[in-house]
Amino acid sequence: MANPHDDGQPSDEVLVAYRDGELGAEESARLEARLAGDATLTARLDTLGPAPARFAEAFEPLLAAAPDERLNAKLAAALGEHATAPAWTRRPSLRVVAAAVVVFAVGAAAGYLAPVAVRPRPPQEAATQPNWREAVAGYQSLITSDSMAVISDDPATIGKELTAIGGKLSLDLSPAKLTLPDLDLKRVELFDYLQRPLAQIAYLSSDGPIAFCIIANGRPDEASAFEQRDGFNIVYWNKGGRGYLVIGHAPRVRLETLAGELAERVS
C-alpha cells in the first residue's frame, strides 16, 4: 500500500475505505476528528472520484442490454446436459481429491506410502466413473509449467515411487516404460478417489503439463474416446479393469498419439 504522504497524513487507501464505509467505527471517528480541522484532508476526500452509487448507476443499463433470449437458451442447454446424469450420482468435488493429496503427501513425507484400501465396487456404482476424470481435470487446472519447474525430478525417487504405485495398481510401471521422447517425466503421485487408487504420472511438454492417470475402477474394456473438460483435452479408455486417461492443453492429435503409445507400453 503506497502512502505518498510522509507527513502522517492518512493514505489514499484509508480515505477510500472511509468513503466506502469500510473503515471501522474507531478509525472513522479518528479520521472525522482530523477532517474537522484539516482543509487539505477534506479537499483530498473530494478528489477521490465518483461515489460508488455512480458506478452502479452507470452499469445499470448493461443489465437491460443483456441478450436474454440467448442466455436463457444457454441455461436450458446446460439444464438439458445436466439432466442426463442420474440424479443420485454423487459428484465428488476437487476437495475430495485435494484432501486425499494432503493425506498422501503427509504419508509420503513420513517415509512410507499410505496404504490405499481397494474395495471391489458393485456394478451399479460404476456410473460414477465419469467423475474421476472430472476430479483429475479439476486438479490438473492447479498445475502450470511454472509450478512444475520447481519440482525436483530425481530419477531414483521416481523409480521407487513408480514401483510402489505400480504395486498398488497391480501394474508393472517402470521409468523405462513411461519415458517418452520430447516429454519430461517430472513426478508421480498416488491419490485415493472414492477408495480407489488413482495414479498420476506428470509430464512437462512443449505444450505445457500433460498427465497420464490410471485408476483401478474394475470397469469393462472400452475403446479410446475423446472429451473436453474444464478447458482440457482428454483421451481416455478402459482396459483390464483399469481406467486410463491422458490430459493436457496439448492438441487432441498429440494426446491421441501419446495415449496410443502409453496404452501399448502399460498393460
Partner 1 sequence: MAGDSHDPVRQGLAQTLPRLWRYALVLSGNRDTAEDLVQATCVRALERSDQFAAGTRLDRWLLAILHSIWLNEVRARKVRRGQGLVDADAVLVFDGLAHTETNIWAGEVLRAVQALPEAQRETVFLVYVEGMSYREAAGLLAVPVGTVMSRLAAARAKLADLGSASAVAGAAAEGKR
Footprint of partner 1 (CB under 8 A): 1-2, 11-13, 15-17, 20, 22, 46-59, 61-68, 70-72, 74-75, 77-79, 81-82, 87, 90-91, 93, 134, 141, 208, 230-231, 249
Q: How far is the CB of 24 from partner 1 (least distance, A)?
A: 12
CA distances from 86 to 127, 129, 130, 131, 229 (A): 8, 12, 12, 12, 19
Say which amino acid occupies 153.
D
Q: How far is the CB of 147 from partner 1 (least distance, A)?
A: 13
Please say which residue, 15 or 204, places its beta carbon nearer to partner 1. Answer: 15
Q: What is the pairing mode between strands 184-193 and 208-215?
A: unpaired
Q: How far is the CB of 117 from partner 1 (least distance, A)?
A: 24
Q: How far is the CB of 250 from partner 1 (least distance, A)?
A: 11
For the chain, what's the residue count? 267
CA distances from 94 to 73, 97, 116, 131, 144 (A): 28, 5, 19, 10, 17
CA distances from 190 to 6, 126, 127, 160 (A): 54, 21, 22, 13
DSSP class of 128: G
Please say which residue, 53 or 223, places its beta carbon nearer to partner 1. Answer: 53
Q: How far is the CB of 245 from partner 1 (least distance, A)?
A: 18
Please say which residue, 29 or 76, places its beta carbon nearer to partner 1. Answer: 76
Please say which residue, 26 or 46, places its beta carbon nearer to partner 1. Answer: 46
Please say which residue, 37 or 61, places its beta carbon nearer to partner 1. Answer: 61
